[in-house]
Amino acid sequence: MKVYLDLVFFINFFFDFLILYATKTILKETTSCSRIILGSLFGSFTIFLLFLSLSNYLLLLFKLIISILMILITFGRKNFLSDILYFYLISIILGGFLYLLDINFTYQNRGALFYGAGLGLNFFVTIVLSPIFLYFYTKNYKKSKFKTSLMYTVQIYVDKKVYHLKGMLDTGNQLRDPTTGKSVILLNSNVDIPVSNYFFVPYKALNTEGVIRCSKVERVKICDVEFSKCLIGFSKTSFTLGNVDCILPSIFKEEL
């Protein structure tokens, strides 16, 4: 059997670079491209393990040590646990994607049995589709992570009653009562919280202005953080932002 070391080395380097770069993108690590290249080059030297007579346990141990050193070379020690966790997570996801391609492109099946068709995974498919797959994966992961990071469980205490709501932090919501300086939690129109006293707070948005009915609350609890200097405002229209019950003001971001 012929082994083309230069080709194997390039493929190892290519995938190590993709995984490290995807890890950097998802975790927003501040590392340079040269350190990613250096870490990828170090990881590519695992091909020389092919020439050593090692047991499966020793081979696994060597690969683990090499991956740890790759993370330290590329990102340092600051966020080591999260870096290596996502490094392996992305490796598993990319490996599953390549296995799926390999099954579909280079294997034939009869019923539930698969057998090789004589050729390995097409080199062009590997090189082209892998970066595309990781690009869309990291893009959608960051988008979903951003959305979920803005969602909170909200408990509003009014007249000795507790209302459990789903809230979303809106960085553009800077609505506050000009008299008391209290920020306003905007409730969806379908949320029913009966109040005995209320007053109106003026607001100004894009090309529109008016007043919104507001009321005082005893306290608000968001993920075990309590807020007392805030009001609840009753929206006249409904909003469908992830099926949330209320929109939290941007000032809460400093505490959450």
pLDDT digits (tens, 9 = 90+) for 172-201: 778 888 888 899 999 998 898 988 888 999
Q: Is 91 inside a domain boundary?
A: yes
The predicted pLDDT at position 103 comes to 58
Give every residue of the chain whose pLDDT is below 70, as ranges: 1-6, 49-51, 99-126, 142-149, 206-207, 241-242, 256
Same structural domain, 95 and 186: no
Print the domain residue range for 141: 5-110+121-149
Contacts of 182 (CB under 8 A, 6+ apart): 176, 229, 230, 231
Rounded to the nearest angstrom, the gap between the alpha carbon of residue 48 and the centroid of all alpha carbons in its chain is 35
Q: Is 126 inside a domain boundary?
A: yes
The predicted pLDDT at position 113 comes to 42
Q: Find the angle CA(246)-CA(171)-CA(210) to the nearest 5 degrees.
A: 65
Domains identified in the chain, total number: 2
The predicted pLDDT at position 167 comes to 87
Same structural domain, 160 and 91: no
Same structural domain, 156 and 34: no
Same structural domain, 157 and 241: yes
The predicted pLDDT at position 114 comes to 41
Q: Is 27 inside a domain boundary?
A: yes
Same structural domain, 237 and 247: yes
The predicted pLDDT at position 118 comes to 47
Same structural domain, 79 and 167: no
Same structural domain, 70 and 145: yes
The predicted pLDDT at position 71 comes to 92
Residue 163 near residue 193, CB atoms below 8 Å: yes
Q: Is 204 inside a domain boundary?
A: yes
CATH classification at residue 198: 2.40.70
Q: Is 116 inside a domain boundary?
A: no
The predicted pLDDT at position 149 comes to 61
pLDDT digits (tens, 9 = 90+) for 23-59: 888 887 878 889 999 999 888 877 776 667 777 788 7
